[in-house]
Amino acid sequence: MAEPYYKIALFFNANKVYDRQVVEGIGQYIQASQCMWDIFVEDEFIYHADSINHLSIDGIIADFDDPQTAKLLKHTQIPTIAVGGSYKHLDFYPHFPYVATNNEALVELAFFHLQQKGLSHFAFYGLQIDGEKHWSKERKNAFVALMEKNHYPIHLYECGQINGQNWLTEQAKLIDWLKTLPLHTGIIAVTDARARHLLQACEYSKIAVPEELCIVGIDNEELIQYLSRVSLSSVEQGTREIGYQAAKLLHRLLNGQSVSHHPILIPPITVHARNSTDYRSLSDPLVMQAMHYIRHRACQGIKVEQVLDHLATSRSNLEQRFKNEMNKTIHQVIHEEKISRAKNLLQQTDISIQEIAEICGYPSIQYFYSVFKKEFDMTPKEFRKNS
């Protein structure tokens, strides 16, 4: 007997990376199982609350982190699978089958990443919101619990939604908080969007990242990488797996099979380590200033002389400090920064090799090929093909 067609509504807002990737996971299940589903999503991939009243729907998968969605579907009789964040209190979960990102595991993974870098001070930048049932509060509480368990001081800062009217005021408050933190603090941001606030505040106030403060976000939002000069380390959630498992549960429901109402918690995938946590245990303030200058200007073709002029110091003095702190010369560090940037651009973008050579400050593409092959024993073209 052929499987019947089912009309399925997805209640997500695809302007959020979390929602987009959950929907991708749903799509992966549909492709894998070849289930006969007619998926309803609005043209702009943002659902409207009145949609449910005008559709003949057989099943729903919805983001219950959105309070309006949770309220809208609270009493529905349509087979529904809820997705969202995990809760410490079981009473907070909806009465539907539920697939959740594990908020405790997200924060724990970010914390371990910072701890393994050699940091011993930690802070959390969150989203201030009313009501108990919210993923941002769960992440904050997970951070507090980790600090108490490991006997670290607790540094917290939260603010509400930021818009064009309050952006400058809130940024000033954030900068004031950052200046109260101990040197070499690792900050966990509740999302990548909040982490970007931190990067901007540090840049504006001349706080060196990662030399003075390290920052890790949550979401691994690709767009953020294009909007910040310092690339952001971030925890990648298991969002596609959430979508896949939610679709699998709905498929069982529609086929008349029993489904457990005990929440399924999906762990994070990994931390993508980038420059914002590329912490080196430096104690010499002059070397820290030099490293910050080199990170931002190595690809502008600077030489050792420009670093010395910026810091108003002698070559012998700074070279000795670099040798003591890093066992490297200033020239070596400039070279490493340039070649590392080139490698990342080859791996993560479709920018032409000619333009990458120019972006990274190499005088010609031939010279870039020569330097790159000497470093990696392959040409940039071969490296990109194998990445």
153-165, pLDDT tens digit by residue? Answer: 999 999 988 888 8
Residue range 299-328: average pLDDT? Answer: 92
Phi–psi pair at 308, nearest 5 degrees? -65, -40
In the chain, ranges of CATH 1.10.10.60 domains: 285-386
Where does the pLDDT of residue 1 fall: very low under 50, low under 70, confident under 90, or very high at 90 and above?
A: low
Please tell me the distance from the alpha carbon of residue 214 to that of residue 117, in angstroms, as a whole number. 10
Secondary structure of the chain: what % helix, strand, coil (to 5)?
Answer: 50, 15, 35
Q: Given this model, what pLDDT does residue 279 score?
A: 84
Among 48-62, 127-141, 244-258, 265-279, the least confident range: 48-62
The answer on pLDDT for 105 being more than 90 is: yes
Query: Tens of pLDDT along 110-129?
Result: 999 999 998 999 999 999 98
The answer on pLDDT for 84 being more than 80 is: yes
Query: Tens of pLDDT along 173-219?
Result: 999 999 999 999 999 999 999 999 999 999 999 898 998 999 999 99
Where does the pLDDT of residue 348 fall: very low under 50, low under 70, confident under 90, or very high at 90 and above?
A: confident
Please tell me the distance from the alpha carbon of residue 142 to that of residue 272, in angstroms, as a whole number. 20
Where does the pLDDT of residue 371 fall: very low under 50, low under 70, confident under 90, or very high at 90 and above?
A: very high
Type of residue found at 343: K
The answer on pLDDT for 23 being more than 90 is: yes
Q: Given this model, what pLDDT does residue 44 score?
A: 61
Query: Tens of pLDDT along 35-78?
Result: 999 888 776 666 666 666 666 889 999 999 988 889 889 989 99
Across the chain, mean pLDDT equals: 91
For the residues of 82-147, what is the DSSP string, one character each? Answer: EEEE--SSGGGS-SS-EEEE-HHHHHHHHHHHHHHTT--EEEEEEE--SSS--HHHHHHHHHHHHH
Q: Are 262 and 252 in contact (CB under 8 A)?
A: no
Question: In the CATH scheme, what is the homologous superfamily, with its name and number, of domain 103-236+272-277?
Answer: Response regulator (3.40.50.2300)
Q: Given this model, what pLDDT does residue 5 score?
A: 87
The answer on pLDDT for 356 being more than 90 is: yes
Where does the pLDDT of residue 380 fall: very low under 50, low under 70, confident under 90, or very high at 90 and above?
A: very high
In the chain, ranges of CATH 3.40.50.2300 domains: 6-102+239-269, 103-236+272-277
Read off the DSSP letter of residue 62: E
Task: Quote the tokens at residue 275.
Answer: 């420059």
CA angle 289, 205, 121 (to 5 degrees): 70
The answer on pLDDT for 136 being more than 60 is: yes
- CATH of the structural domain 285-386, one choice from 1.10.10.10, 1.10.10.60, 3.40.800.10, 3.40.50.10800: 1.10.10.60
CATH architecture of the domain covering 6-102+239-269: 3-Layer(aba) Sandwich (3.40)
Q: Are 216 and 277 in contact (CB under 8 A)?
A: yes
Where does the pLDDT of residue 318 fall: very low under 50, low under 70, confident under 90, or very high at 90 and above?
A: very high
Which comes out higher in pLDDT, residue 147 or 15? Answer: 147
Please tell me the distance from the alpha carbon of residue 327 to that of residue 339, in angstroms, as a whole number. 19
Which comes out higher in pLDDT, residue 355 or 344? Answer: 355
Read off the DSSP letter of residue 259: -
Q: Are 197 and 230 in contact (CB under 8 A)?
A: no
Q: Given this model, what pLDDT does residue 226 score?
A: 72
Largest CA distance in the chain: 84
Q: Are 183 and 199 in contact (CB under 8 A)?
A: no
Q: Given this model, what pLDDT does residue 295 score?
A: 86
Q: Given this model, what pLDDT does residue 52 score?
A: 63
